[in-house]
Structure 1
Amino acid sequence: MKKLKHALALALCASAMGAQAQTELTVYTALEADDLKKYAQRFNEDHPDIKINWVRDSTGIVTARLLAEKENPQADVVWALAGTSLLMLKNEDMLEPYAPEGLDQLSPKFRDRDEEPAWVGTNAWMGALCVNTIEAEKEGLPMPTSWEDLTKPVYKGHVVMPNPNSSGTGFLDVSAWLQMMGEDNAWNYMDGLHKNISRYTHSGSKPCKMAASGETAIGVSFAFRGARLKEQGAPLEMVFPKEGLGWEVEAAGIMKGTDKLEAAQTLVDWAISRKAMEMYNEGFAIVAMPGVAKPVKHFPANAEELIIDNDFAWAAENREAILAEWQRRYDGKSEAK
C-alpha cells in the first residue's frame, strides 16, 4: 500500500511539474468562437507542452487593440486574423519575420512577399448572402442573384450587413465593391444599398445568424457561417452574387518582442502544416496549401473562380480612409456596441 501511495505521489508530482513547464502563448484571433476549442485541441495533439490562451473578437476590434498596444504588446502570436490586418501590423513594424517550416508548399498569394515573411496565410473566407427562404416567401421577396439586386426597393428593411469598422467580413465586402466597381460607382452603390439596410451589426456572422432565426430575410455574411447553419437545419439559401465575391486570407504572424519566440515559431509552423490545412478545410473551401482542399458541403464547387482578384496591399493601405468614409456616410444605422 505504501508503494502504491509513493507511486501515486510521484505521478502527481511529475504531472504538476509538467504543467508548470507548459509554455503559455497569448494568441489574438478573430476565429469563430465555436472553433476555438477545436483549433487548440488539434494543435495540442502534437504540442501538449504549449497552451493557447485565446483573446478573441471581431477582426476590426482585434486589429484596433493590437495597434493600440503597439508600445506594449500583449499578444505573442496572431492566428486567424485578416491578412489586411497583418499587413497593417507589418507596416507598423510590429511583426517578427519568420519563414515557417513548409513555407514553400503554400500558394504564393497566401504569404507575405518578403523572403522571410512577416505573416503567412492559412485559408480564405469568402462573402455570401444568407437568405431565409420562409421569410422571403412570406414577404414576397424574389431570390437575389447579384449585389445590384439588393438596391431594389422591394428589399427595403429586409437586409442586414456587418459594419466594416468592426467586422472583417464587412470590410472585405466594401473593399471588393470599391475594387470591382471603381470608387465613385461603389459609393453610389452603397448609398443605394444603405436605403434597404435595417441595421449594421458588429459581427460578420451575425447577419447570417439573424437570417437563420428569421430576424431578417437577408444577411450579408460569409459562406462558412451560412454553410454551417444550413447544415444544422436552418431554412437558408446560400447566394453567391454573380459580379464576384470579396474574400480575405486568414493569416498568422509572430508579434515582435515576444519572450516566447520558440513556442511562437512552433505554433506558426503547425498553423501551415498539412494537418492544419485539413482542419481548415472542414469549414473553408479554400486553403493555402494547393492540392489539400476537398469540396465543402453547401459551398459552390467553383469557389476559387467566384472570388475577385483581391489587391490586399491596396486594401491595407487605404483601410483607414475607407472606414472613415463609410462611417461618415452610414454609421447611423449601426447597432449599439
Structure 2
Amino acid sequence: MNARGLVFGTIVAVAAGFAALPQAVRAADLNVYMPQGVVGAVEKVLVPIMRDKFNTKVVITPVLSGQALTKAVAQRANPEISVFMLDEGPWLQGKQANLWDKLEGLPNMAQIPARFRDADGMGSGFLLYLLGLLYDEKAFADAKLPAPTSYEDLWNPALKGKVTIPDANSTFAYALLFKINELQGGKAAQSVDAGFAKLAQLAPNVGTFHGGASTLIPLFSQRQAWIGFNASFPAQRLAADGVPIRWVAPKEGAIAVAAYIAVAKNAPNAEAARQFVNLVLSPEYQAAQTETAFGGYVNPNTKLSPDFVSKFLLKPEDIEKASVMSWDVYLAKRTELSGRWQREIEKK
C-alpha cells in the first residue's frame, strides 16, 4: 500500500465507530500544542476526523516541550490551549503544578500499559523514544569487531575516541546515567555515585558529546563516531539515507522515554479535547504516527504494515523489555546532576 492509501485507510479505521454529529454553522476550535515531529500524522489522520465527526477545527501550534510547559503555566487562570503534547519531564512538572485535568472513561487510554500512563489519570504517553546503541555496521566489520549487544560495549578499548554520548543539556544523558547506576547496583532515588564513577571511566573512549539528533546524525554520516547512545529514530533516518547505521536494544534492556498528552484544567472545548486524546491513543493513529515519525508506540494493539516492519529498527520485544526513566529523581536533582555531569564526565 502506498503512503496515500495508508493514510486514507487509517482515517477510515480510526473514524469507525464514531457517529457523525450534527453539523453546526461553524466548527469550534480546539487549540493543540505538539512537537513538530507528529504534526504530519495529526494533520493527515486526526484533523479530518475531528472536523467531520466532531465538528471541531484542530488548530496546531508546533512547539518544544519547554515552551509548551511555559504556556500551560501562563494560561492557567484563563486557558486558551486545550491539549498539550510534550515530553514526560515537562508534563510531570505540569502535573506537580496542578495544570492538567483528569481524563476518565477514554476507551483507548485504558489500553495503554500502566507504566506508560499516569496512575492518577492526568495524562498518558502517546509516543516513545527508545534509547539504546547506534553503531556503524561497516566500521565495526572493517575493524573486525563484533556488533554491540550490551551497554558494556561502550567501554571496549578498541573504540577509543569513537564513542559519542549525550551532553549535559540532554535529558538522555541522565537516562543513561540512571541505567548505568542501576547496572552497578545503585538506586537513583538514593545515590547515583556508582553511575557517575562508571561513566567517568568511559572518558577515554568518548570522542564527542552530542546534543540533539541534529548534532548526532553528522557524527555518523561523516564517520567521526562508530557507536553512540541515543534514540532509534536518528538511526532510522540515517539508514533510510543509505548510511550503514544500525540501532540495537542492549541485552540489559533499552530505556523508554515517553512524550505525554494531557488536557489543561478548565480547557475550552473540553469534550472535543477528550475525543482528540482518545484518537491519539488509538491503535490506528499510533500506527500512522510510528510510520511517519519512527518513534515507538504506546498502544500494544498497534499493527504496523508488513513493509514498514521489515525496515523498522524497533521490535515489539524492545518496547516490552524497556525500562523507564526516573523523572521524579531527575526533576528533584537536575541542577546537581547537570553540574556533576559537566565536571565528572565531560571534563575528564
1:99 to 104, 107, 121: 104
Deviations 1:144-171 (CA, angstroms, capped at 9, x unpaired): 332122123432332222336444x444
Q: Which residue of 1 aligns with 2:238?
A: 229
Aligned to 1:12: none
SS of the residue 1:98 aligns to: coil
Distance change (3 Å), C-alpha of 1:324 and 1:200: farther
2:328 match: 317
Q: Distance in 2 between matches of 1:292 and 1:124?
A: 13
After superposition, the CA RMSD in angstroms is: 3.3
Tell me the residue number matched to 1:88: 93
Q: Does 1:54 align with 2:61?
A: yes
Kept in 2: contact 1:281–1:287 (CA 8 A): yes
Deviations 1:299-322 (A, max 9, x none): 3463135423x3x5xx22211354
Which consecutive residues of structure 1, in runs of 5 or more, have no partner in the other structure?
A: 1-17
User: Which amino acid in structure 2 is aligned with residue 52 of structure 1?
Assistant: V
Aligned partner of 1:288 in structure 2 is 298
Is residue 280 of structure 2 the alignment partner of residue 271 of structure 1? yes
Give 2:322's aligned residue: 307
Cα–Cα, structure 1 residues 252 and 164, in superposed 2: closer, same or farther, change >3 Å?
Answer: farther
> Could you tell me the TM-score, scaled by structure 1's length?
0.75
Deviations 1:14-56 (A, max 9, x none): xxxx997461514143x53xx4222222111212342332333
| CA distance 1:274–1:184, change in 2 (3 Å) | same
CA contact (8 A) 2:81 2:264 kept: yes
Quickly say closer, same or farther: Cα 1:316–1:153, change in 2 above 3 A: same
Query: Cα distance 1:155–1:123, how it changes in 2: closer, same or farther (>3 A)?
Result: same
Does residue 176 of structure 1 match 2:182? no
CA contact (8 A) 1:78 1:254 kept: yes
Structure 2 gaps of 5+ residues are: 1-23, 187-191
2:82 alignment partner in structure 1 = 76
What's the counterpart of residue 43 of structure 1? Answer: 46
Separation of aligned partners in 2, 1:253 and 1:226: 29
Could you say if the C-alpha distance between residues 213 and 110 of structure 1 is closer, same or farther in structure 2, counting changes exceeding 3 Å?
Answer: same
For the structure 1 residues 274 and 140, does the alpha-carbon distance in structure 2 shift closer, same or farther, using more than 3 Å as the test?
closer
What is residue 196 of structure 2 aligned with on the other side?
187
Q: Which residue of 2 aligns with 1:3?
A: none
Change (3 A) 1:284 1:152: same
Percent identity, aligned pairs only?
Answer: 20
Matched residue of 2:336: which SS? helix
Q: Distance in 1 between matches of 2:320 and 2:267?
A: 39
Offset, 1:209: 5.2
Is 1:245 the equivalent of 2:260?
Answer: no
Residues 199-218 of structure 1 show CA distances to partners (whole Å, capped at 9, x for unaligned) of 33331564245314434222
Q: Cα distance, 1:185 vs. partner?
A: 2.1
State the partner residue of 2:116.
Answer: 110
Count residues with an aligned counterpart: 302
Shift of 1:226: 1.6
Aligned-partner residue type, residue 266 of structure 1 = Q
CA distance in structure 1 between the partners assigned to 2:59 and 2:183 by the alignment = 39
SS of the equivalent of 2:125 reads strand
The structure-2 alpha-carbon separation of the partners of 1:265 and 1:36, relative to structure 1 and needing over 3 Å to count, comes to same
What's the secondary structure of 1:278's corresponding residue? Answer: helix
CA contact (8 A) 2:164 2:210 kept: yes
- SS of the aligned residue for 1:302 comes to helix
Q: Distance in 1 between matches of 2:183 and 2:81?
A: 35
Shift of 1:119: 0.4
Change in Cα spacing, 1:176 to 1:256, as seen in structure 2 (3 Å) is farther
Tell me the distance in 1 between the aligned counterparts of 2:166 and 2:342. 11
Q: Flag the 1:274–1:197 CA change in 2: closer, same or farther, 3 A.
A: same
Q: Which residue of 1 aligns with 2:29?
A: 23
- Structure 2 CA distance for partners of 1:244 and 1:216, relative to 1, 3 Å: same
Contact residue 213 and residue 234 of structure 1 kept, 8 A: no
Q: 1:82·1:250 contact (CA, 8 Å) conserved in 2?
A: yes
